Amino acid sequence: MRKVKVALLGATGSIGKSTLEILRKYRDRFELIAFSVHNNLEGFQRIVEEFSPKIGVITGAAELISPPIRTLYGREALIEVASLREVDIIVVATAGNMGVYPTIFGLKSGKRVALANKETLVSFGQIVIDEYKKSRGELIPVDSEHSALFQLTEKYGDQMEELILTASGGPFRNMSREEMEKVSIDDVLKHPVWRMGKKITVDSATLMNKGLEVIEAHWLFNLSPDRIKVLIHPQSILHGLVKMKDGAYLAHMSYPDMKIPIQYALTYPERWQCDFVSLDLSSLRPLEFYGPDTNRFPLLKLAYEALSFGGIMPCVMNAANDVAVESFLKGEIRFLDIEKVVFATFDSFVKESVPGKLSLEALERFNSEARAKATETVTRIKN
């Protein structure tokens, strides 16, 4: 059996590490051809020693003195890897806007792109989907909620009325605004269900993560915002639901572990044995569902507004949130200041919002401008 050749971009992040577990288990079926890290040189060396890939990429400022394999640097290196003829699947798990480039070039090259990078569709959705429609490539979502909806809509898409994304609600789902004023960084990073990177954990606490997923779902499933709903589901067992035209609901359930959707993206349309985790239905506690409180978590509502505005606004909102979360994790602002930074930046760009299609270069420019504006707001709050 010919091995499936994989390029793993963002190999030392939480998604990357889970992907490596799957490649490790199925060494007889997968071969890691290329990978990228940002600045994690120790992780780079470990991956080379264990998997013997042909190409390594470093996207940050770090540099190896005597690289053990062919080593490339920066955005252009990701594009080169995404275009390699021998690569079958590209797992895009990089952080930030850089993920859009290997996604686009991977699709152009007719490859399967297993997409775990939110910014790619949030900031550049129209561009990516236009390229996808023209290409021979495949776009398979890795995020647990979108993977669930992908599996449901593939069979029932023409009969559905609504998509429903579930959210755990984060660590503060039962807290008042007054209580959230006092939370620490450690409090925010204690997610009740998932073990994720710091950025996505903070986004889960503000519900911005679910807002970003609504925007992604719009592009992936070609639905208007009013047909994409969010339900708080603290147990994180149901990852997605579709409401059918006849009033029936179909749901996707699994243990909350990212290895399940990652493996599905790698093996689609087949389902392979997954011995990492197992869901015991008989031991489940009661499953809860309730609507999100956008008064306590207003960034979710803002994400819907950004999607309705279209144009540059999802990109602007995402850029502002990146800056705000980074500043929070540095201890420069408080938890609820995150939304102040995002709202202030959003409001300053609304009048410039241009509906319709924009080039990648134009969106990159607005991304930079939004980041600069958000940084100004952070400075004002600090002082």
Confidence tier at 383 by pLDDT (50, 70, 90): confident
Q: Is residue 77 part of a domain?
A: yes
Q: Is residue 301 part of a domain?
A: no
Tell me, yes or no, whether 183 and 321 share the same domain. Answer: no
Give pLDDT, residue 37: 97
Tell me, yes or no, whether 32 and 113 share the same domain. Answer: yes
Give pLDDT, residue 191: 75
Tell me, yes or no, whether 314 and 359 share the same domain. Answer: yes
Structure-block tokens of residue 152: 């449901």
Tell me, yes or no, whether 346 and 264 share the same domain. Answer: no
Q: Per-residue pLDDT for 331 more than 90?
A: yes
Which of 92, 112, 141 corresponds to the end of one domain?
141
Burial class (CB in 10 A: 0-12, 13-18, 19+), 90: buried
Q: Is residue 302 part of a domain?
A: no
pLDDT tens digit sequence for 196-252: 778 989 999 999 999 999 999 999 999 999 999 999 999 999 999 999 999 999 999
Chain centre to alpha carbon of residue 141 = 9
Which of 109, 141, 173 corresponds to the end of one domain?
141
Q: Is residue 304 part of a domain?
A: no
What's the structural domain count of the chain?
3
Amino acid at residue number 223:
L
Give pLDDT, residue 10: 97
- Mean pLDDT, residues 114-141: 96
Task: Please say whether the beta carbons of 111 and 89 come within 8 A.
Answer: yes
Q: Is residue 299 part of a domain?
A: no
Q: Per-residue pLDDT for 374 more than 90?
A: yes
Which of 120, 141, 162 corresponds to the end of one domain?
141
Alpha-carbon distance 55 to 33, whole Å?
7
pLDDT tens digit sequence for 133-156: 999 999 999 999 999 999 999 988
Tell me, yes or no, whether 264 and 378 share the same domain. Answer: no
Confidence tier at 50 by pLDDT (50, 70, 90): very high
| Ramachandran region, residue 207 (left: φ > 0; alpha: ψ -120 to 50; beta: rest) | left
Provide the pairing of β-strand 30-37 with 55-58.
parallel
Q: Could you identify the residue written with the tokens 């008989």?
A: 282
Contacts for 119 with CB less than 8 Å, ≥ 6 apart: 96, 97, 99, 100, 318
Confidence tier at 283 by pLDDT (50, 70, 90): confident
Q: Is residue 320 part of a domain?
A: yes
Range of the domain at 34: 4-141
Q: Is residue 152 part of a domain?
A: yes
Tell me, yes or no, whether 237 and 95 share the same domain. Answer: no
DSSP string, 286-297: PP--B---TTT-
**What are the DSSP E strand ranges found in 125-198?**
138-141, 160-167
Q: Is residue 303 part of a domain?
A: no
Tell me, yes or no, whether 33 and 127 share the same domain. Answer: yes
Alpha-carbon distance 90 to 7, whole Å?
5
Local structure of 111: helix, strand or coil: coil
Task: Please say whether the beta carbons of 199 and 95 come within 8 A.
Answer: yes
Tell me, yes or no, whether 278 and 371 share the same domain. Answer: no
CATH assignment of the domain containing 342: 1.10.1740.10
Task: Please say whether the beta carbons of 142 and 257 come within 8 A.
Answer: no
DSSP string, 182-207: T--HHHHT--SS----HHHHHHHHHT
Give pLDDT, residue 354: 66
Chain centre to alpha carbon of residue 238 = 18
Tell me, yes or no, whether 319 and 214 share the same domain. Answer: no
Give pLDDT, residue 327: 97
Contacts for 226 with CB less than 8 Å, ≥ 6 apart: none
| Ramachandran region, residue 117 (left: φ > 0; alpha: ψ -120 to 50; beta: rest) | beta
Residue 324 has, within 13 A of its CA and on its CB side, a CA count of: 30
Structure-block tokens of residue 167: 């959210």
Structure-block tokens of residue 311: 């144009």
CATH assignment of the domain containing 136: 3.40.50.720
Alpha-carbon distance 340 to 332, whole Å?
13
Give pLDDT, residue 229: 97
Tell me, yes or no, whether 351 and 277 share the same domain. Answer: no
Tell me, yes or no, whether 163 and 58 share the same domain. Answer: no
Q: Could you identify the residue written with the tokens 């149901």?
A: 238
Tell me, yes or no, whether 183 and 269 share the same domain. Answer: yes
